[in-house]
Amino acid sequence: GAGVSQSPSNKVTEKGKDVELRCDPISGHTALYWYRQSLGQGLEFLIYFQGNSAPDKSGLPSDRFSAERTGGSVSTLTIQRTQQEDSAVYLCASSLDWQGALNSPLHFGNGTRLTVT
Amino acid sequence: AQTVTQSQPEMSVQEAETVTLSCTYDTSESDYYLFWYKQPPSRQMILVIRQEAYKQQNATENRFSVNFQKAAKSFSLKISDSQLGDAAMYFCAYIDLTGANNLFFGTGTRLTVIP
């Protein structure tokens, strides 16, 4: 089937606006991750969903960032009152195994490039 | 806290030659997994190779192999017979068995393959 799908692929927004980034994981994948990749930086962990368990939000950089995963499938990452430092590529990944990436490889989407002007 | 360090921001290799990308990590755990991911310009992350820490034998996948030195906390990637399609960003990553299932990434190495 299809891989992990992210939309939009590119988003330009004005400082102070809210944005929503969407991730459609591979069907049947119970684990879902959001990462942020800034220019010249590695992947910064944001949030992790595993099935119906409470998400691991320890990577969210501020309370302007939030994420939901409805019905254990589609996830939305919301950034409120965007700032220029939020500009980055936001990557979503999913994996099959209940232990997340431990026993099965992560499947990444192509990311959303967010530019805050 | 776990950290993954890639000290080579950029590397280049002549086509058909061999190149080694470095990665070190810091952890107090004894059971963990290490990965190398490839990210071409499409931004899609592709799993290249995986190493379980409890295994002494170095993982290999065709032209890709690792040199895993657990005591030194080193996990380098060797690409043999480099091809133009190998040009990409390469990320080293770590995950342990604490249950957090958080995959930590390094900052990446950009590999250029020279024809």
Residue in B66, B104, B54 with CA at minimum distance from that of residue A106? B104
- CB count in 10 Å sphere of residue A4: 23
Neighboring chain A residues of B101 at a CB cutoff of 8 Å: 31, 48, 50, 56, 99-102
pLDDT tens digit sequence for B13-38: 999 999 999 999 999 888 889 999 99
For B74-113, letters b (16+ CB in 10 Å) and e give: ebbbbbeebeeebbbbbbbbbbbeeeebbbbbbbbbebeb
Q: Is residue A2 over pLDDT 70? A: yes
- What's the gap in Å between the CA of A83 and the closest CA on chain B? 23
Residue that has been written with the tokens 């080579």 in this structure: B8
Chain B contact set for A106 (CB, 8 A): 45, 47, 103
Query: Higher pLDDT residue, A16 or A52?
Result: A16
Closest CA to B20 of B71, B72, B73, B82: B82
Say what the pLDDT of residue B3 is. Answer: 86
pLDDT of residue A41: 72
Contact: B107, A56; criterion CB under 8 Å:
no
Residue in chain B nearest A50 by alpha carbon: B101
Cβ-in-10-Å burial (0-12, 13-18, 19+) of A55 comes to middle
- Nearest C-alpha in B relative to A93: B45
pLDDT of residue B29: 86
Mutation target among B52, B102, B104, B110 for the A interface, most CBs of A within 10 A: B102
Say if the Cβ atoms of A48 and B97 lie within 8 Å: no
Chain centroid to CA A21: 7
- Based on its alpha-carbon atoms, the radius of gyration of chain A, rounded to whole angstroms, reads 13
CA distances from B92 to A16, A57, A116, B56 (A): 34, 23, 29, 19
The number of beta carbons lying within 10 Å of the beta carbon of residue A42 is: 21
Whether A111 has a pLDDT exceeding 70, the answer reads: yes
Does A31 contact B101 at a Cβ distance shorter than 8 Å? Answer: yes
Residue A36 has pLDDT above 70, yes or no: yes
Binned at pLDDT 50, 70 and 90, residue A6 comes out as very high
Q: Which amino acid is at B84?
A: L
Separation between Cα atoms, residue B93 and residue B10, nearest integer Å: 17
Tens digits of per-residue pLDDT, B71-95?
Answer: 999 999 999 999 999 999 999 999 8
Q: Please state, for a pLDDT cut of 90, what percent of chain B lies above it.
A: 70
More confident residue, B32 or A14: A14
Closest partner residue to A45 (CB to CB) among B45, B97, B102 is B102
Identify the pLDDT of residue A40. Answer: 67
- Predicted confidence (pLDDT) at residue B55 exceeds the cutoff of 70: yes
B65: left (phi over 0), alpha (psi -120 to 50) or beta: beta
Summarised one tens digit per residue, pLDDT across range A74-97 is 999 999 999 999 999 999 999 887
